[in-house]
Amino acid sequence: AVLANGMKMKIQFYDPFRTDTSDLDFPAKSVTLEELIRSSDFISIHTPLTPETHHLIGMKELRMMKPTAYLINTSRGLVVDEDALADALAEGVIAGAGLDVFGGHHEPPPQDWKLLGLSNVVLTPHIGGATAEDIYRNFYVTSLDNIIRVLRGEKPLYVVSQGDI
């Protein structure tokens, strides 16, 4: 929202737990989900995956969107019904989509995944916001630091157990 505001975009949002925006340094309007879907040029999804948000965006919601609108999902893949999205993109129901997360597929997705063949979708493997510096620091430096810690007999940082995956 801060970046969008910097580009002079009108900010509106749907959040069932928040309507007050007095703490923000820019104007933002709380609206219903249906109003957001019908009136937005860009919809950027930032929500956890819960039973309530599973397939929050399906064909019904996609058909409510403007044909010139773009859907961006950086939250969790299963928040969007990807089969419905693929059909909507192929049919021109919406202009395009950007997905930084995938739902229901092993990574990488299978080669016959419907979204892979579409020219109006951008797919990134949950690193869409990463900079070259992030990748260097987070992948190389942190990995090397952990290897050195283990060689010294110390516990590595940022341990992920199988149950966390």
Separation CA 160–CA 148 (nearest Å): 17
> 77 and 52 in contact (C-beta within 8 Å)?
no
Closest CA to 11 of 35, 32, 36, 28: 28
**Burial environment of residue 53 by CB neighbours within 10 A (0 to 12, 13 to 18, 19 or more):** middle
Is residue 107 flagged as an active site residue?
yes
Instruction: From the candidates 76, 82, 105, 106, give the one annotated as an active-site residue.
Output: 76
CA distance 153 to 159: 15
Distances (CA, A) of 54 to 23, 26, 58, 62, 78: 29, 30, 10, 15, 6
Q: What is the DSSP string of 26-51?
A: S--EE--HHHHHHH-SEEEE-----T
Q: Which of 38, 55, 63, 126 is catalytic?
A: 126
For residue 76, indicate whether it is catalytic: yes
35 belongs to the catalytic site? no
Q: Choose the catalytic residue: 52, 106, 107, 133.
A: 107
Catalytic residues: 76, 107, 126
